[in-house]
Amino acid sequence: MKRPFKTRIKTLKIDGIDVGAREDETLLELAQENDIFIPTLCHLEGVHDIGGCRLCLVEVKGTNKLLPACMTYAEEGMEVTTNSERLQMYRRQVLDLLFSERNHVCSVCVSNGHCELQWLAGKLGISHVGVPYLYPQLSVDASHRFYIYDPNRCILCTRCVRVCDEIEGAHTWDVMGRGTDCLIISDLNQPWGTSDTCTRCGKCVQVCPTGALFHKTKAVAEMEKRRDFLPYLRTMREGRK
Amino acid sequence: MLERLEEIAATEQLFAEEFAHTVNVCMAAGCMSSQSGLIKEAFDKEIERGGVERRCRVRGTGCMGLCAAGPLVTVDSQTPDEVLYQQVKVEDVPDIINALEGQPVKRLQCSIDIPFFKRQKKIVLENSGIIDPERIEEYIARDGYSALLRAITEMSPSDVIDEIVASGLRGRGGGGYPTGLKWTTVAKSDGEVKYVICNADEGDPGAFMDRSVLESDPHRILEGMAIAGYAIGASQGYVYVRGEYPLAVARLKTAIRQARRSNMLGSGIGGTPFNFHVDIRLGAGAFVCGEETALIASIEGKRGQPRPRPPYPAEYGLWGCPTLINNVETLASVAPIVRNGGEWYAQYGTATSKGTKVFALAGGIRNTGLIEVPMGTSLRDIIYDIGGGISAMGECKAIQTGGPSGGCIPAAYLDTLVDYESLAALGSIMGSGGMIVMDESTSMVDVARYFMEFCMTESCGRCVPCRVGTVHMYNILDKFSRHEGTQDDLVLLEKLCDMVRNTSLCGLGQTAPNPVLSTLRYFRSEYMDCMIPEPDGAEIINETLEVAQ
């Protein structure tokens, strides 16, 4: 027998609050709907999720695994905890690792004061980084006419890769290498300015959570990102929702 | 169709009986690397020279197991016992040929009455080292493809699944997920198109079970995959083999071609309406592609990176279709189970882990090689009886199982009976079957450091804990191995282990701390010994203070 309804509605508890959800809603969407704060760096509304930053991990009663809120769908009777001591500790550790991985020097960064990484660190109460810095040597790509790519500030969230592929449809960006040697590259690892596929639309620059991608004209603390256009573009592209 | 198989088997039998002597040369990668290819050529020439072609034939076979003593040659003179020769060289060939009619060459002979051969129970490896992997007729002569034909002509798909469930078979790739349950879920998933994938991306350092099975008995995998395809309703299968196994790939290609020609793969198998095609996909050197979602991404032509589960591949796998992914060894167990029944298989093993398991013995052990034992065999039996004990001076210190996801089991637990649960209780895992034996000269800190380096370079880079956490853990372990560790480092190391284990996206990151955690659990003192000693300065200052007073 076929189900008589298209989308099921589920009821569940997030941090003790009863919420109603469609079965195709993720825990992150539900939390945002209900004004519950879950930190995230790789999630971007309008493009698909990868569950990579591990900041949105939540506890769900009945499983001892931590689940990424951005990729976990609502289920009947779920009891979700989004902000336990343990989760906070892990989140701070994730940020610690991110800060130590590349050369994040806020004082000279174009995004100082408008950076999601910096903002989250403040919000989660990071006073110092608990692991040694790795100080990799990475060169800046300023070959593009309008923009600069500085891998020293990149956190490999791959928002730029996804937005370029899924919304602009150019797929200029992708990831090269493995582990901490991963690098965002344009086309076949060539200077961004020589890329044949880049349309100079700048969406990657706007969605970048840090100062890794920025406008050439901006100086320290001047780069503010705008990304309210994204869901709209996605709707236009797919013609639904 | 079954009659045709019997006909092929009978012809093959007659053909074999024409020869008074059959010389089998091991042509698996281990012996090949010590020139068994040249030895086989030498046998061919020698037989031609001696004019005994009509009485004697030479065959290349798969792995005979005792890799430490390679190149291995057996002589079957149609007597109950074969003669096994070890460490054969090209110069020895004439002697062996001359000895065919008389007494075996004593200086080369290796007894087959040793525990290494006697204590094994071969199900997966039943044909390894016995048949020529490049001839389908020899596989058929040993009941090959009869299980497939029986399944598709006499059994319903659910009957096949019932047999697998009854056998109690669990995933041999390392996780130990019940195979019957996996088959049931994929069979129940909605979807017109489904896939079967054989995971042959064996990457654990020191493990070579899957390679040997593919090289020694490739048809067994194809038969297992076809049976799986019939059971879940798939008509396409992929074998994902790592690119570092060229011989396995070549033999698999030959096998697929032969099976197609014999109508054991392809359209209308054995005259039934069942279709099943198999294609090979090569890995390009990424360990993480052994993780099932990364493997699927790799087959799809994407970057080989895992994605969070659920949804599991059983529901949403290759190109979004329900997909069954099983390891080589799991699929290799399928045909014997269908042929002999699930209960026959379940008689071997322990209460929770049924059947047999293939282990690759490596490290400081005398009989390095490939063995297959029933689950529930004790580690001591495996190491000291079958493995022949430690090769160097000294005692066994620890056994590393499960590769970079596993742990080190100290010698004190040698009497543990091996199954999924017992190894997990000791902080290690069954894993795919790599077993590295370490003697007393091994530094446990170095072992942990080695495996962490492996995980660090094999991390795909998608999630932060695994990508960056492994680097920090490696750096700390490196400090310890240089005897420069501190108490703070140890605290940080344990903190990172906990975090990476609990927050990583896929199995690689979640299990990467295991080698560290298990060595910390059993060999903590070695870490302590690798710390900077308390500065002597402390005492001097105290003395100076006393003097000043």
- Domains of chain B are 16-114 (3.40.30.10), 144-167+182-331 (3.40.50.11540), 356-439 (3.10.20.600), 448-529 (1.20.1440.230)
Q: Are B284 and B290 in contact (CB under 8 A)?
A: no
* Helix segments in B354-486, DSSP class H: 379-380, 420-425, 444-458, 464-481
Question: In the numeric block, which tokens belong to residue A119?
Answer: 């903002």
Of residues B115, B95, B131, the one with CA closest to residue B22? B131
Residue A231 included in any domain = yes
CA atoms of A140 and A99, how far apart (whole Å): 18
Last residue of a domain, one of A83, A114, A142: A83
Q: Are B128 and B63 in contact (CB under 8 A)?
A: yes
What confidence tens digit (pLDDT) does each residue in B467-498 have?
999 999 999 999 999 999 999 999 999 999 99
Sole residue written with tokens 């942990």: B448
- Cβ–Cβ below 8 Å for B468 and A100: yes
| Number of neighbours of residue B78 by Cβ within 10 angstroms | 10
> Is there a single domain that holds both residue A199 and residue A114?
yes
> Is there a single domain that holds both residue A45 and residue A121?
no
Q: Are B354 and B123 in contact (CB under 8 A)?
A: no
- Cβ–Cβ below 8 Å for A178 and B462: no
Question: In the prediction, which pLDDT does B54 show?
Answer: 80
What is the predicted ipTM?
0.94
Sole residue written with tokens 């309406």: B273
Of residues A176, A174, A177, A147, the one with CA closest to residue A161? A174
A129 touches chain B (CB under 8 A): no
Residue A190 included in any domain = yes
> Is there a single domain that holds both residue A43 and residue A141?
no
What confidence tens digit (pLDDT) does each residue in A17-41 have?
999 999 999 999 999 999 999 999 9
- Cβ–Cβ below 8 Å for B461 and A131: no
Of residues A148, A145, A52, A192, the one with CA closest to residue B306? A52
Residue A204 pLDDT exceeds 90: yes
CA atoms of A166 and A46, how far apart (whole Å): 9
> Is there a single domain that holds both residue A35 and residue A153?
no
| Strand runs labelled E in B56-135 | 56-61, 73-76, 83-85, 109-110
Question: In the numeric block, which tokens belong to residue B350?
Answer: 């322990």
> Is there a single domain that holds both residue A47 and residue A158?
no
User: Mean per-residue pLDDT for B149-174?
Assistant: 94
CA atoms of B283 and B289, how far apart (whole Å): 7
Bond before B273 cis per omega within 30 degrees: no
Question: In the prediction, which pLDDT does A3 show?
Answer: 65
Residue A73 included in any domain = yes
Q: Between B286, B459, B505, which is nearest A51 by CB?
A: B505
CA atoms of B481 and B234, how far apart (whole Å): 51
Residue A126 included in any domain = yes
DSSP β-ladder status, B396-401 and B434-439: antiparallel
Residue A123 included in any domain = yes
- Spatial neighbors of B412 by CB under 8 A, at least 6 apart, are none
| Strand runs labelled E in B295-395 | 323-327, 356-363, 369-374
- Cβ–Cβ below 8 Å for A101 and B303: no
A156 touches chain B (CB under 8 A): yes
A64: CATH: 3.10.20.740
- Res. B394 pLDDT band, cuts 50 70 90: confident
> Is there a single domain that holds both residue A119 and residue A77?
no
Last residue of a domain, one of A83, A116, A145: A83
- Res. B125 pLDDT band, cuts 50 70 90: very high
Residue A37, Cβ density class (10 Å: 0-12 exposed, 13-18 middle, ≥19 buried):
exposed
Contact list, B286 vs chain A (CB under 8 Å): 178
CA atoms of B42 and B313, how far apart (whole Å): 49
Give me the percent of chain A exceeding a pLDDT of 90: 83
Residue A99 included in any domain = no
- Res. B374 pLDDT band, cuts 50 70 90: very high
Fill in the amino acid letter for B28. A
Domain residues for the domain of A52 are 9-83
Cα A235–A238–A239 angle (5° rounding)? 70
> Is there a single domain that holds both residue A143 and residue A66?
no
Q: Which of A24, A103, A131, A184 to mutate to test the interface with B (most CBs of B within 10 A)?
A: A131
What confidence tens digit (pLDDT) does each residue in B188-225 have?
998 899 999 999 999 898 899 999 999 999 999 999 99
What confidence tens digit (pLDDT) does each residue in A134-183 have?
999 999 999 999 999 999 999 999 999 999 999 889 999 999 999 999 99
What confidence tens digit (pLDDT) does each residue in A214-231 have?
999 999 999 888 877 777
Q: Are B224 and B331 in contact (CB under 8 A)?
A: yes
> Is there a single domain that holds both residue A13 and residue A116?
no
A170: CATH: 3.30.70.20
Residue A240 pLDDT exceeds 60: no
What confidence tens digit (pLDDT) does each residue in A133-142 have?
999 999 999 9
- Res. B159 pLDDT band, cuts 50 70 90: very high
CA atoms of A132 and B395, how far apart (whole Å): 39
Sheet holding B323-327, edge to edge: B277-283, B236-242, B195-200, B323-327
> Is there a single domain that holds both residue A67 and residue A133?
no
Give me the percent of chain B exceeding a pLDDT of 90: 76
Residue B541 pLDDT exceeds 60: no
What confidence tens digit (pLDDT) does each residue in B67-81 have?
999 899 999 888 878
Residue A208 included in any domain = yes
| Number of neighbours of residue B303 by Cβ within 10 angstroms | 16
What angle in degrees, to the nearest 10, is found between the helix axes of B514-522 and B487-503? 130
Q: Between B465, B475, B502, which is nearest A97 by CB?
A: B465
Give me the percent of chain B exceeding a pLDDT of 70: 97
Q: Are A174 and A185 in contact (CB under 8 A)?
A: yes
How many separate domains does chain A show?
Answer: 2
Question: In the prediction, which pLDDT does B16 show?
Answer: 86
3-state secondary structure of B486: coil
> Is there a single domain that holds both residue A14 and residue A115?
no
DSSP state of B28: S
Residue B295 pLDDT exceeds 60: yes
Nearest chain A CA: its distance from B223 CA (Å): 36
> Is there a single domain that holds both residue A29 and residue A61?
yes
Question: In the prediction, which pLDDT does A241 show?
Answer: 45
- Cβ–Cβ below 8 Å for B463 and A175: no
CA gyration radius for chain A? 19
How far apart, in Å, are the Cα atoms of B310 and each of A24, A37, A57, B209, B482?
Answer: 14, 24, 14, 29, 42
How far apart, in Å, are the Cα atoms of A79 and each of A71, A216, B92, B502?
Answer: 16, 47, 72, 19
Nearest chain A CA: its distance from B459 CA (Å): 5
The mean predicted confidence, pLDDT, of chain A is 92
DSSP β-ladder status, B323-327 and A183-186: unpaired
- Cβ–Cβ below 8 Å for B505 and A175: no
Q: For residue A5, report the phi and psi dihedrals to the nearest 5 degrees.
A: -125, 155
DSSP state of B226: H
Question: In the prediction, which pLDDT does B547 show?
Answer: 59
Last residue of a domain, one of A83, A116, A131: A83
- Res. B49 pLDDT band, cuts 50 70 90: confident
Residue A70 included in any domain = yes
- Global pTM reads 0.92
- Res. B540 pLDDT band, cuts 50 70 90: low
> Is there a single domain that holds both residue A125 and residue A219?
yes
Question: In the prediction, which pLDDT does B400 show?
Answer: 93
Contact list, B456 vs chain A (CB under 8 Å): 179-180
